[in-house]
Every structure is written in structure tokens, then in C-alpha cells.
Amino acid sequence: MNKNNILTIVKKEFARFFGDKRLVFTTMIMPGLLIYVIYTFMLGGIRDTFEADKDYRAKVYVQNMPKSVQPMFEGLGMDISNADDTDIESIKSLIENKEVELLVVFPPQFDSAVANYNVADTTQMAPNVLIYSNVANIESDNAEGFVRTMLTSYEETISNKFNINAYTEETANEKFDLATDEDFMGKIFSSMLPFMLLIFLYSGCMAVAPESISGEKERGTIATLLVTPMSRSHLAFGKIISLSFIALISGLSSFLGVMLSLPEFIGSEIEGLSTNIYTTSDYLLILGIILSTVLILISLISIISAYAKTVKEATTLVLPLMIVIMMVGLTSMIGGGEPQTSLSWYLIPVYNSVQAMTGIFSFNYSLINVGITIVVNIIYAGAFSYVLAKMFNSEKIMFSK
């Protein structure tokens, strides 16, 4: 009767999980949906609040408009009014009331003052342009930025000694930033995704393992299993395999939520943001790493859950581990997305996953290191399963009250 009961346990765990619609919704669908909704609508909403309306024409008053900059002002697409005969204070209060966006006051004879100004003469003050705006008014703040940039670049052109990457006929088709789109995307993905994946996988594991192990212990249902002739290691393996699968789906649900809302998350200014830069084999390697990582995380949380007397105790006990995992995840953001190259780093579980994922996302990995990562993680998970089986066999742990 020494049959293999791993599959029986896996089937029961799946029946328990997938048979409970509420559990499926809260563990699998809700995390991804919530992240997508929050990132898309909230960040979108926040951006709308802080971004000026592109079609809006700012109302700008200019006093003593110099001839030299007048064409540039006209090119800004703003409603420019002459304020030569208007009281400055009244315009300021209009800006304060958000009825007018900007007031620009040039000194009289600005052009000649600029022409006569000698930088080397320390006794002389440079002509001073005054710009009044209202930072609480997005349109005003925006207009201020445009006018300031325009005047700064005008200042640069009149004191020009040399240019950098200037647009000329020869350089019209020249590309100065030699990073490919892929490199750029790779850098973004490799610093963010390993951390996010790890956190979401850990949350997925936290959502299922304490309930399934401490929960069964707390409710006394695990004793019913332990009195059967089933091998304890089959119970441990069955639990770890089924819980890993459920945690994986839960973690990937959150991850999908992030990927779908990524353009909104990073900012739509980055054009061509796409995960199409990776090949199928890249994705397969990532999947292998994710799978082996989930096995480790689930087996670790299962051990903690088996030790805990109640689900509540287990969820408290797994928090310190979460902090450690988060710190390890953060290493993907350190070092400019460059993964470790030395093989010995890939013998450290979880850290190796982060490094291997960073490598794959930044197109800078060795197949050996990725392979080692997966194998090492599986060996650790196997060792942890053995510990869990031993714990199932220990009356002190399983029946302590």
C-alpha cells in the first residue's frame, strides 16, 4: 500500500482551492485587477491633474516686448497681450486669481541693453527679465517653463561660442544616442521587473501556504491525514507542488496587472515601451527561474507555517522573511542592472533568481548561470521539502498546543 500519494494531495489541494470561487477571486483575479485599476486610473488621474491641457492657449502679458524675441513669443502658441500701458499690480492679481497665466516684464530697451552688456565688467548688472506666474495653476506653471526655456536658449544663441550636437545639414540624419531601443527597454525592465516579480510571487505564496498548512494544523484536519499510512514526504511534496502552482498563478496575476498598466506606470512619454524585445527562449528561461523560485518560497513559508500554531501566527512569522526577500529583490536596482557574473553568486537561493532575471531582462546573461540558478533552487526546495516532511513527523510540532 506504499503508493504514491503526491498526486492525491495535489488533487485535493486543487479541489479545495478551485472549488472555492471566493478564494479563486481574491487570490488570483483580484490582485492583478486591483493593480491594473489602481495604476491605470489612479496614475492616469494624477497625471491629468498635473499635466496642462495641450490645446490650452495661455494668456500672457508682456511689457516692453523687445523686437528680437517677439517672433519667438508668437511661436509659442500663446495669447500675447501688450501690457505697456497696463498696471502691473492688476495683472499680478489676475495671475493670482488664475485668470491670466503669465506676466513677462522686460527692461526698457532690452535689446540695446543686452548688446551693450559686457560680461567681464563686474560693475555692470545684466539686464533682468521678470516673469510672474502662479505655480498652483498648471497652465501658468507650464507657460512659465516655456517662456523661461525660450529666453534661456535665446541667451545661449546670442553668446554662442560653440554648439553640441547642433542640427545642421550634415548631422540631420546622425544618431548621437547610440543605445538601441532594446538596450533602453532592457535597462528599465531589468531594474524593475525582478524586484516586482519576486514581491508578487512572495505575496502569492503568503496568500496560500499559511492557510493550507497552519490552517489544517489549527483545524485538526492534518492529524486526520497523519493517521493514514501516507508517507510524510508525499504529503510535503504534494502540498509544496500544489501550493506553488496556486501561488504562481496568483503572483503572475499581479504581474500581469503591472505589465498591462506599465505604460501608464512609467509614463507614456517613453515611446515604444514594449515587452516584444524579448524572445520566446528569454521568456522560457524567465519562467524556469520563476517556477524554481516559487518552489523555494513556498517550501520556506510552508516550514514557517508548519512551525506556527495558528494561521495568524504564521502570517506574522513570515513577515521578517518578506523583508529579507524584498531586500534581495532590491539588488536588481543596484549596480545599474548589471548582473553578477561569478558563478558562486548563483549558488545563493533567491539572490540567484534576481541576478539571473536581471541578466535575462538586460540581454546580458550566461546560460550556465541561469541553469545553475534553476538547479540550485530546485535542490534547496527539495531539501526544504525534506525538512517539512520531518516536521510533519514530529509530534512536538504537529500536536503542540
Partner 1 sequence: MEEILVAKGLKKTFTLSRKQQKLEKTNCKTKVAVDDLSFSAYKGEIFGLLGPNGAGKTTTLRMVTTLIRPDSGDAIVDSFSITANPQQVRERIGFLTSELKLEDFFTPNYLFDFFSELYGIDPATRDERKGKLFSRFGIEKFAEVKVANLSTGMKQKVSLAISLVHNPDIIIFDEPTNGLDVLTAKTVTDYLLELRDMGKSIILSTHIFSLVEKVCDRVGVIIDGRMVACDTLENIKNGKSLEDRFFDIYSELKGGNDE
**Footprint on this chain of partner 1 (rule: CB under 8 A):** 1-3, 5, 8, 12, 15-16, 19-20, 216, 219-221, 223-231, 395, 399
How far apart are CB 237 and partner 1 at their closest, in Å? Answer: 14
How far apart are CB 396 and partner 1 at their closest, in Å? Answer: 9
- Give the neighbor-by-neighbor strand order of the sheet with 130-132: 79-82, 59-63, 102-105, 130-132
Do residues 373 and 399 touch, judged by C-beta distance below 8 A? Answer: no
Beta-carbon count within 10 A of 265 CB: 17
Q: Looking at beta carbons only, is 2 or 165 nearer to partner 1? A: 2
Residue 297 CB-half CA count within 13 A: 38
**Beta carbons within 8 Å of 278's beta carbon, 6+ residues apart:** 360, 361
Beta-carbon count within 10 A of 226 CB: 15
How far apart are CB 380 and partner 1 at their closest, in Å? Answer: 27
In 3D space, the residue among 301, 288, 170 whose CA is nearest the CA of residue 247 turns out to be 301
Q: Looking at beta carbons only, is 20 or 155 nearer to partner 1? A: 20
CA separation for the pair 194, 213 (Å, rounded): 28
DSSP run (H or E) holding 329? helix 311-330
CA separation for the pair 270, 97 (Å, rounded): 35
Q: Looking at beta carbons only, is 10 or 62 nearer to partner 1? A: 10
Do residues 139 and 53 touch, judged by C-beta distance below 8 A? Answer: yes
CA separation for the pair 361, 62 (Å, rounded): 51
Q: Looking at beta carbons only, is 192 or 235 nearer to partner 1? A: 235
Q: Looking at beta carbons only, is 87 or 395 nearer to partner 1? A: 395
Q: Looking at beta carbons only, is 192 or 209 nearer to partner 1? A: 209
Q: Looking at beta carbons only, is 18 or 283 nearer to partner 1? A: 18
How far apart are CB 7 and partner 1 at their closest, in Å? Answer: 9
Q: Looking at beta carbons only, is 180 or 228 nearer to partner 1? A: 228
- What type of residue is 350? V
How far apart are CB 24 and partner 1 at their closest, in Å? Answer: 13
How far apart are CB 233 and partner 1 at their closest, in Å? Answer: 12
The dihedrals phi and psi of 78, each to the nearest 5 degrees, come to: -120, 160
Q: Looking at beta carbons only, is 294 or 389 nearer to partner 1? A: 389
How far apart are CB 400 and partner 1 at their closest, in Å? Answer: 10
The crossing angle, in degrees rounded to 10, of helices 30-37 and 181-219 is 140
How far apart are CB 312 and partner 1 at their closest, in Å? Answer: 18
Burial of 193 (0-12, 13-18, 19+ CB in 10 A): buried
Q: Looking at beta carbons only, is 75 or 229 nearer to partner 1? A: 229
Strands 130-132 and 102-105: antiparallel
> Looking at the chain, how many residues does it have?
401
How far apart are CB 306 and partner 1 at their closest, in Å? Answer: 16
How far apart are CB 395 and partner 1 at their closest, in Å? Answer: 4
In 3D space, the residue among 71, 271, 310 whose CA is nearest the CA of residue 184 turns out to be 271
